[in-house]
Amino acid sequence: MNKRQLIEKLSLAAHIEGGYFSRTYGSDIKADLPSYPEPRRLLSSIFYMLTDDNPIGYLHKNKSDIIHYFHGGSPLTYVILHPDGHLEKKTLGFDLDKGQQLQLIVRGGCWKASELESGEFGLISEAVAPGFEYEDMELADQETIRNRFPLLWDRIAKYVR
């Protein structure tokens, strides 16, 4: 399938981070957790896709841990900026011999961005625990990131909207 067919078949819509998504699951079970103001679903999941005409998932951080699962298309490169300033790059894809991964865990509190560097699309799923809520996500802005990580700005600027 091509990107347009997948967008239609999976009911994907534009995401505020960039790319396309659709929520596929939200646990009916909720729990009171210490660092969340209201009960949270135990788990949620989405499809997420970057395309050649929408190739960047812009820098953001989530309160919850997220597991990313690669499904197909071209590899996706992730830039992960840890709270201590450690910057790492990981690639989701099928070529394990080249260091690509089939799944990637990004801990809550880390900034992350993703990029489709070539190809028509890259399709993943994300499982979020505790479940995703928009109020638990922060999109990066230039002032915050530049002030907090001035030595990394040249390497991450293109991922800040």
> What is the span of the domain harbouring residue 133?
3-31+39-159
Q: What percent of the chain has pLDDT over 90?
A: 97
pLDDT in tens, 63-118: 999 999 999 999 999 999 999 999 999 999 999 999 999 999 999 999 999 999 99
Q: What is the CATH number of the domain that holds 123?
A: 2.60.120.10
- Tell whether the model's pLDDT for residue 35 goes beyond 90: no
pTM given for the model = 0.94
Secondary structure tally for the chain: helices H, strands E: 3, 13
Report d(CA 73, CA 159) in Å as an integer.
Answer: 21
Question: Which pLDDT band, with edges at 50, 70 and 90, does 122 fall under?
Answer: very high
Q: Which of 157, 112, 106 lies closest to 138 in space, CA to CA?
A: 112
Structural domain tally of the chain? Answer: 1
Give the contacts of 133 (CB within 8 A, at least 6 positions apart): 40
